[in-house]
Amino acid sequence: MSESTHDTTQSDTVEPDTVRIVLDRLRTGLTTLLRLPFTLGLWVVVFAIGLLTGSLWSHATEKSWYADVAFGLPALQEGKWWTIITTMGLEPSPGKYVIALILIPVGIGWAETRLGTARVAVVAIGGKIGAELLAVALVWFFSRDFLSWEWADRMAHARGTGVVTMVVAAVAVASATLRSPWRLRVRALLSAAVAIVFLFEGTFGTIQYVLAAVILIPVGETFFSRGERGYLPRTRQEVRMLAFAGVLVIAATDLLVFFFPGSGPLGPTDAGDESTFALLFGIVINLLIANSLRHGRRWAWWVVVVLGVLNVGLTVLVLALTWFTDFDSEGGVTVGTTLLWAVLLVIVVPGRFAFRVRWRVKQTGDPVGDPVAEVKTLLHTYGGGTMSWMITWPGNRYLFTDNGQGVVAYQKHMGTLLALADPVCAPGDLRATVSTFIDAAEKSGKTPCWFSVGGETARVAEQLGWRSLQIAEDTIMDLPGLEFKGKPWQNVRSAINKAKKEGITFRLTTLGDESFAIKSQVRAISEEWVGDKGLPEMGFTLGTVEEAMDPEVRVALAIDDDGSVHGVLSWLPVYAPSGGEPTVRGWTLDVMRRRTDGFGQVIEYLIGSSALAFKDEGAQIVSLSGAPLAHSDETADRERMDRLLDSLGAAMEPFYGFRSLHHFKKKFNPRHEPVYLSFRDESDLPRIGLAISRAYLPDASPSQLVRLAASGTHD
């Protein structure tokens, strides 16, 4: 009896809760729909027209009235001007109706949330009309007798209807409101989709898709961009992933048209008599290239550039033969995919900085495989300074000593060899290792210098007749006895306590071991930060998420109860001299990113929590790294290099905040150790200054450098 009563009571309480949840969800959905009146109205109109005309279940193109509502060159020639409007609510087939009724809420609905109702209406309707008129003009021109293009002749007699062009127009413009990396991803996906549909379907409607994307992406960039501007990726990871995806799209397209051949504007889309074996072999090669692009391999970049240029050249030749001779283009898949190759070239050529991973050899010419592994072995054995791990990053070249027990990492810019950080070698070999690099640089005819070295290396260079200038300060936290007590640590304590109240937890991990969801969030946070800047992602002594993927690098994450990442730090190992097992004596802060809408004090929380965790592990120091081109001693000698570095630092400050970052680190009460630049004489300083700016911004465009210089002038 009591069990039955309990069940009845539970049913009485659960059922109203279930009903309330359903009603709440319906109310939320209805509220969302009412906030998108243009999307809702367009969807209802398209559905109603399909229902009333029977086009939802039969082909409208077979109806007797279709020619009176469909737009095209024949409609204008017949004076049916109203078709430019009536074409918007009708789809030609049931399959197209399904696609349209899905794309309207997904594409236009999303665009309406970004642009607002009035703007999305103007963009969608105006973009559709503009694309229609331009498509008619192009069809009329290319169907002239002197061109003799069979496909254009067919299009001159074609009529079309559809709402998808409105979706393309709305998404193209709304993409300008996004931050990196999503703005480029949306544009790349949109461009690839319309290109594939056009090349392998080639209808009058698909011409409009291409025109809407080509015209309205720049329109959105010009009139609707919210702070960030530009069409190209700024981070290595984004370039690599876009190149990787681009090659996969090309491979998938080849596979698709092999099994489902058709006819596009450049002829048949099958590959003629290509065998299945040849197709599969080509796809395997494409997959190998794509995977190598994903890892930033230089050889894969060269292969893509060569193939892309060959494909573009082939297309130009075929088009010329098609238009001006009786040549009938065969193997249209090869010609058709050329546009995809062209898009890929637009990504990888400006993004060449992302593909620098290559095999290197010792200067003696002895093959050593990947020298980075040898560099890491030397670091494990002889230890290094707080910046030494940076020499393992891509972009560095290596000069090994004759006995292989010492190495200098350097970069070559503007006729200058910039040796980065202290040499890695036994303490007794420091002078010999420094001399080895100086001799090699002198023999090469380049201007040598040492950048960001400690006091001992600077003294050795001075003993060899060089000069040294302090260019930065390394900020060091000593971990033994560290406690966040007293007024000096109030900000750090407050951040840790507030994080606990808000359900933020600290995780010290290796990024490569984290889930795909965590890694994706970390990359998105980093790329959003880069997207806010007016310059590309910097390099040299400033790492990225890619460098943080190294298994010897630790990553600190701030994660809430929903699994959302609010901030991320990466910590580079600082090894102590060890004759046996590698011993970490400290960690250096590198990547420091926070989510714009996340926990406000997340960086203070992560640095404080990391310091305590490293202290418990037995580490001796934490370096918050030296803010490049910034130092706290305003009374230092104002020599030419000081002035040049200060000018460059002032110019970069609005973009990267070096000096404000230097001020921020004072919250952690660090001690300071000087960081030096060593050089031969004052006559080398102008060239060294240019080389340093290029090292930090190796792929900045001329316009970006002009803006950088102007910023420094007005500082």
In single-letter form, the type of residue at position 604 comes to E
In a domain, 388, yes or no: no
- What DSSP letter does each residue of 656-695 carry, written as one string? H-HHHHHHHGGGG--EEEEEEEEES-GGGHHHHHHHHHHH
pLDDT top residue among 257 and 45: 45
Residue 662 sits in the same domain as residue 634 = yes
> The tokens 């990053």 sit on which residue?
393
Identify the CA nearest to 695 among candidates 347, 298, 419: 419
Mean pLDDT on 425-443: 89
| pLDDT at residue 361, rounded to an integer | 39
pLDDT digits (tens, 9 = 90+) for 390-408: 999 988 999 999 888 999 9
CA distance 605 to 600: 10
Q: Which of 77-91, 529-543, 629-643, 689-703 has the highest mean pLDDT?
A: 77-91
Dig out the tokens for 638 from the structure: 């104002």
Three-state secondary structure call for residue 70: coil
Angle between helices 204-223 and 164-174 (to 10 degrees): 20
Q: Are 671 and 663 in contact (CB under 8 A)?
A: no
Identify the CA nearest to 608 among candidates 508, 511, 501, 496: 496
Residue 55 sits in the same domain as residue 16 = no
Residue 25 sits in the same domain as residue 49 = no
| pLDDT at residue 655, rounded to an integer | 44
Dig out the tokens for 207 from the structure: 């011409």
pLDDT top residue among 90 and 228: 90
Identify the CA nearest to 138 among candidates 168, 124, 122, 158: 158
| pLDDT at residue 360, rounded to an integer | 44
| pLDDT at residue 5, rounded to an integer | 38
- The two beta strands, 565-576 and 407-413, are unpaired
pLDDT top residue among 1 and 487: 487
Mean pLDDT on 459-466: 90
Dig out the tokens for 478 from the structure: 């000593």
pLDDT at 273 exceeding the cut of 60: no
CA distance 377 to 367: 17
| pLDDT at residue 274, rounded to an integer | 60
In a domain, 459, yes or no: no
pLDDT at 230 exceeding the cut of 80: no
Mean pLDDT on 629-654: 49
Cα R_g (the chain), whole angstroms? 31
Cα angle vertex 81, ends 79, 83, to 5°?
120
Residue 10 sits in the same domain as residue 61 = no
Let me know how long the chain is: 715
Mean pLDDT on 539-554: 89
Average pLDDT, the chain: 82
Dig out the tokens for 644 from the structure: 């040049």
Full-model pTM: 0.67
Work out the pLDDT band at 489, boundaries 50, 70, 90: very high
- The two beta strands, 407-413 and 416-420, are antiparallel
For the ranges 169-183, 210-224, 281-295, 653-667, the lowest mean pLDDT is seen at 653-667
CA distance 81 to 513: 62
In a domain, 518, yes or no: yes
- What DSSP letter does each residue of 535-550 carry, written as one string? SPPP-TT---HHHHTS
As for how many domains the chain has, the answer is 3
Work out the pLDDT band at 707, boundaries 50, 70, 90: low
CATH number for the domain spanning 187: value is 1.20.1540
In a domain, 374, yes or no: no
> The tokens 């994903």 sit on which residue?
294
Residue 103 sits in the same domain as residue 50 = yes
Q: Are 547 and 553 in contact (CB under 8 A)?
A: yes
Residue 515 sits in the same domain as residue 603 = yes
Q: In the chain, what percentage of residues exceed pLDDT 70? A: 80
Residue 97 sits in the same domain as residue 195 = yes
Mean pLDDT on 424-429: 92
| pLDDT at residue 326, rounded to an integer | 62
In a domain, 672, yes or no: yes
CA distance 429 to 304: 44
pLDDT at 621 exceeding the cut of 90: yes
| pLDDT at residue 492, rounded to an integer | 93
pLDDT top residue among 161 and 338: 161
CA distance 45 to 65: 18
- Which residues, other chains included, contact 249 with Cβ-Cβ below 8 Å and sequence gap of 6+? 192, 196, 340
CA distance 708 to 467: 29
CA distance 171 to 106: 10
- What Å distances lie between residue 226 and 121, 215, 220, CA to CA? 19, 19, 10
Region for 414 from its dihedrals, namely left if φ exceeds 0, alpha if ψ lies in -120 to 50, beta otherwise: left
Residue 124 sits in the same domain as residue 146 = yes
Residue 624 CB burial class (10 angstroms; 0-12, 13-18, ≥19):
buried
In a domain, 320, yes or no: no
For the ranges 37-41, 64-68, 317-321, the lowest mean pLDDT is seen at 317-321
pLDDT at 303 exceeding the cut of 50: yes
| pLDDT at residue 369, rounded to an integer | 64
CATH number for the domain spanning 576: value is 3.40.630.30
| pLDDT at residue 150, rounded to an integer | 79
For the ranges 86-90, 101-105, 431-435, 652-656, the lowest mean pLDDT is seen at 652-656
Q: Are 286 and 294 in contact (CB under 8 A)?
A: no
Residue 2 sits in the same domain as residue 87 = no
From 213, 231, 249, give the residue that closes a domain: 231
Q: Are 290 and 346 in contact (CB under 8 A)?
A: no
Identify the CA nearest to 570 among candidates 607, 621, 518: 607
Mean pLDDT on 561-571: 93
pLDDT digits (tens, 9 = 90+) for 657-680: 455 666 778 888 899 999 999 988
Number of H helices, E strands in the chain: 27, 13
Q: In the chain, what percentage of residues exceed pLDDT 90? A: 43
Work out the pLDDT band at 146, boundaries 50, 70, 90: low
pLDDT digits (tens, 9 = 90+) for 337-379: 777 888 889 888 888 878 876 554 344 435 356 789 999 999 9
Identify the CA nearest to 155 among candidates 261, 71, 72, 78: 72
pLDDT at 494 exceeding the cut of 60: yes
Q: Are 554 and 606 in contact (CB under 8 A)?
A: no
Residue 493 sits in the same domain as residue 597 = yes
pLDDT top residue among 474 and 699: 474
CA distance 210 to 357: 35
Helices marked H in 455-557: 455-463, 490-501, 516-531, 545-548
In single-letter form, the type of residue at position 655 comes to F
Work out the pLDDT band at 188, boundaries 50, 70, 90: confident
> The tokens 């001007």 sit on which residue?
81
Residue 15 sits in the same domain as residue 140 = no
pLDDT digits (tens, 9 = 90+) for 232-247: 776 677 788 889 988 9
Q: Which of 189-193, 232-236, 620-624 has the highest mean pLDDT?
A: 620-624
Torsion of CA 143, 145, 151, 157, to 10 degrees: 50
In a domain, 236, yes or no: no
From 202, 231, 260, give the residue that closes a domain: 231
| pLDDT at residue 332, rounded to an integer | 45
Q: Which residue segment(s) compose the domain that 643 sits in?
A: 474-683
In a domain, 80, yes or no: yes
- What Å distances lie between residue 497 and 185, 507, 521, CA to CA? 38, 16, 24
CA distance 383 to 577: 4
Residue 535 sits in the same domain as residue 587 = yes
